Structure 1
Amino acid sequence: MPVAPSPLPPRGEAAPHIAMVAGETSGDLLAGLLLNGLKARWPNLQSGGIGGPQMVRRGFDAWWPSEKLAVRGYVEVLRHYREIAGIREQLKNRLLSAPGQRPDVFIGVDAPDFNLGLEAALKADGIRTVQFVCPSIWAWRADRVEKIRRSVDHVLCIFPFEPALLATHGIAATYVGHPLAAVIPMQPNRQTARRTLGLHDEDTVVAILPGSRKSEIEYLALRFFQAAALVKRAKPAIKFIVPAIPALKILIERLADEAGVRADVQIVAGQSHAVLAACDVTLIASGTATLEAALFKRPMVIAYNMNWLSWQIMRRKQLQPWVGLPNILCRDFVVPELLQDAATPRALADALLQWVDAKSSAPEKITAVQQRFTQLHALLQRDTSQLATDAIQKILET
């Protein structure tokens, strides 16, 4: 149970009260960038709800930590359902009933399974609701459209094709670009990143990113490290580096040790952007991190593994042949995807070695990927904080 926080301070200079919920690391990052724009517009902005360190750094009052919502997969969610449902009910009651807590607008950042139900209840009680990051109805679970329409007043879309799709269903939306496209430089500085991490210019570096959730790491990290062992056997000079969320660093170290590669893998706390800037190729869990890798123009092998039942349910709801965000946005298998039973250590190692070998034998293959990702970067690069803040201000004025 969280410690009961103090009430939000009184309003000042017409600054709005904003409630927000961001789940897991990627949502915390997006919400932190959004808060930059909101606080630039309203310096006395007051905000509270569920969030992580990036949001807290911007003055957000985190009543619960965002990691409480960092659960993925049907079966995994069921195991944590009682706690998560309890948090949502407490938050709803607080926003609707607690003195001084009723917000002018609620902003749900990603986490649609948690946020849409909460937004529906708040909207029914007259609170304006905004969903930042459209649920992926174009990729799977198209049946969510009706729930989105019922739950939100406006959707802030991070991909350019989404507003037109939502408009066909009568849902107001604004394309605001992807915040990461403005943060990540168009031409990342590999040399600086390597110096920061103690790597040499001539090193061949493989970044291993097994996910930001404990459940992802439990399903993926061991096979990722087993793949690294096979790659190391074929190419002994290769360097491996893993950016770990500090709270999960010990678990990652244990799994690297179990795979017999602890001495061969450099595990650093955080610094995922430095790691992606420094690497030649990455073995990476499907999710927001794959888009970050694409924005860093890095070849990658996308992989995922989850509870068998969750996988069976998810694949039946899938609408497109791709799972990785870079492939979905490029509408092509620009980089390989190895999912569930296909994500064996041997297959992962072979896919990685193809990229490693291409560095010397087929550099045009790497150049082609970098060109596709540069085009994608330009498409997603907008002043997201400004555009999102403008849209939220219009909603507040209605």
Structure 2
Amino acid sequence: MVAGETSGDLLAGLLLDGLTSRWPLMTSAGIGGPQMARRGFQAWWPSEKLAVRGYVEVLRHYREIVGIRKQLKARLLAQRPDVFIGVDAPDFNLDLEAGLKAEGIRTVHFVCPSIWAWRADRVEKIRRSVDHVLCIFPFEPALLAAHGIAATYVGHPLASVIPLQPDRSAARLALGLRDEDTVVAILPGSRESEIEYLANRFFQAAALVKRAQPAIKFVVPAVPLLQGQIERLAGEAGVRADVQIVQSQSHAVLAACDVTLIASGTATLEAALFKRPMVIAYNMNWLSWQIMRRKQLQPWVGLPNILCEQFVVPELLQEAATPEALASALLQWLDAKSSAPDKIAVVEQRFTRLHAELQRDTSQLATDAIQKILEG
């Protein structure tokens, strides 16, 4: 298996639960993180090695990443696993899967690359690289089938892990917060490049929100390896004393908050499953942004908006993601808490419907599909 970042590690860990339940003597190895390690996965390289987003950013790490893929391919061809499962990370995994499939190793890709959002040209590479795709969104299998790619909708694992009605009070108690507190969760991302481009903006926005509402509480879940960098940036923005930084615990933080300022990515879907209003933001290297924008197929970038096919929550991207604009969007949600609760109720109801749509027995469906591949 290969999972290339925090969100992939989480999804892979949940998938491993189902795999080991069906095949108790199974062994698993490759590239992964702490969630996978807890399930007995042997990480030959840590998932952080692949946690890079953006064309220019990837170029900086290109030689190392290509070297890892070459070594991993050689090791897998020597050991010949029964099946290889690439978890997301399509830029890394699809090329690896193509090489393994060509040598007769069965390949599964978990999480369909977002060809419906951007880079539709990737379809041919998927067909060449994988025997089967495990899809987490219901519309994806039909889209892939139209291109001759076998796929199964397995639901989103997080939809079964995150409760339909999150316990805000319990989460606040665990974080040392009171029920009457107004809480903003700040999630600037789980990659070093995201922290570099987003955290300072997010913390400057927090300073502006704090000035408008002095009693506000801010909580930031930090990936352990990036916690020091986050603490430093909070200090530079002058809000270190006002921000509670906790190691990991992103689900507890999302359950506890009233609204979240959040980097575009899988975390936005987690926030939607916790039924939380949010402000989605992203900023990256200018050249990477120009390349990605030209490949975009839909008007939305945030997963909750894509899945709902409307701007349920605001998106502030690239030059629009100024501290002033981010603070203003947050304050609109916070003001709605008292002045327009119906606005928040509409978001909660839409996200509840989305949760129900994504809730399936993912472990069972995924392992059923993998069993058929193994038998084939």
In the TM superposition, what is the alpha-carbon distance from 1:270 to its structure 2 partner? 0.8
- Residue 366 of structure 1: aligned partner: 344
Match of 1:247 among 192, 201, 225: 225
The within-5 A match list for 1:25-36 is 25-36=6-17
Counterparts of 1:224 and 1:352, CA distance in 2: 11
The within-5 A match list for 1:336-355 is 336-355=314-333
* 1:203-240 deviation per Cα after TM superposition (whole angstroms, max 9, x unaligned): 00000000000110010000000000000000101100
* 1:183-213 deviation per Cα after TM superposition (whole angstroms, max 9, x unaligned): 0000000000000000011100000000000
- Is residue 2:253 matched to residue 1:272? no
- Residue type of the alignment partner of 1:95: L
Counterparts of 1:271 and 1:150, CA distance in 2: 38
The within-5 A match list for 1:152-191 is 152-191=130-169
User: TM (normalized to structure 1)?
Assistant: 0.94
In the TM superposition, what is the alpha-carbon distance from 1:139 to its structure 2 partner? 0.1
- Residue 40 of structure 2: aligned partner: 59
Counterparts of 2:36 and 2:117, CA distance in 1: 28
The within-5 A match list for 1:198-209 is 198-209=176-187
Match of 2:260 among 274, 282, 289: 282
Counterparts of 1:62 and 1:229, CA distance in 2: 40
SS of aligned partner of 2:24: coil
User: TM (normalized to structure 2)?
Assistant: 1.00
In the TM superposition, what is the alpha-carbon distance from 1:56 to its structure 2 partner? 0.8
Counterparts of 1:397 and 1:350, CA distance in 2: 56
In the TM superposition, what is the alpha-carbon distance from 1:247 to its structure 2 partner? 1.1
* 1:111-155 deviation per Cα after TM superposition (whole angstroms, max 9, x unaligned): 000000000000000011000000000000000000000000000
Q: Percent identity?
A: 86
- Is residue 2:26 matched to residue 1:48? no
* 1:314-334 deviation per Cα after TM superposition (whole angstroms, max 9, x unaligned): 000000000000000000000
The within-5 A match list for 1:95-244 is 95-97=76-78, 101-244=79-222
- Residue 328 of structure 1: aligned partner: 306
In the TM superposition, what is the alpha-carbon distance from 1:375 to its structure 2 partner? 0.3
Match of 2:73 among 62, 69, 92: 92
Counterparts of 2:80 and 2:62, CA distance in 1: 26
Counterparts of 1:293 and 1:95, CA distance in 2: 36
Counterparts of 2:80 and 2:211, CA distance in 1: 59
Counterparts of 1:379 and 1:162, CA distance in 2: 13
Counterparts of 1:189 and 1:285, CA distance in 2: 23
Unaligned runs of 5+ in 1: 1-19
- Residue 8 of structure 1: aligned partner: none
Counterparts of 1:276 and 1:385, CA distance in 2: 24
Counterparts of 1:158 and 1:257, CA distance in 2: 39
SS of aligned partner of 2:18: helix
Counterparts of 1:70 and 1:35, CA distance in 2: 20
In the TM superposition, what is the alpha-carbon distance from 1:246 to its structure 2 partner? 1.1
- Residue type of the alignment partner of 1:264: D
Counterparts of 2:288 and 2:80, CA distance in 1: 36
- Residue type of the alignment partner of 1:35: L
Counterparts of 1:28 and 1:243, CA distance in 2: 16
- Residue type of the alignment partner of 1:248: L
- Give structure 1 regions of 4+ aligned residues with deviation exceeding 4 angstroms: none
- Residue 83 of structure 1: aligned partner: 64
Counterparts of 2:240 and 2:75, CA distance in 1: 46
* 1:318-367 deviation per Cα after TM superposition (whole angstroms, max 9, x unaligned): 00000000000000000000000000000000000000000000000000
Counterparts of 2:29 and 2:207, CA distance in 1: 45
SS of aligned partner of 2:28: strand
- Is residue 2:52 matched to residue 1:71? yes
- Residue type of the alignment partner of 1:40: S
- Residue 356 of structure 1: aligned partner: 334
Counterparts of 1:315 and 1:148, CA distance in 2: 22
| Residues paired across the two proteins, number | 376
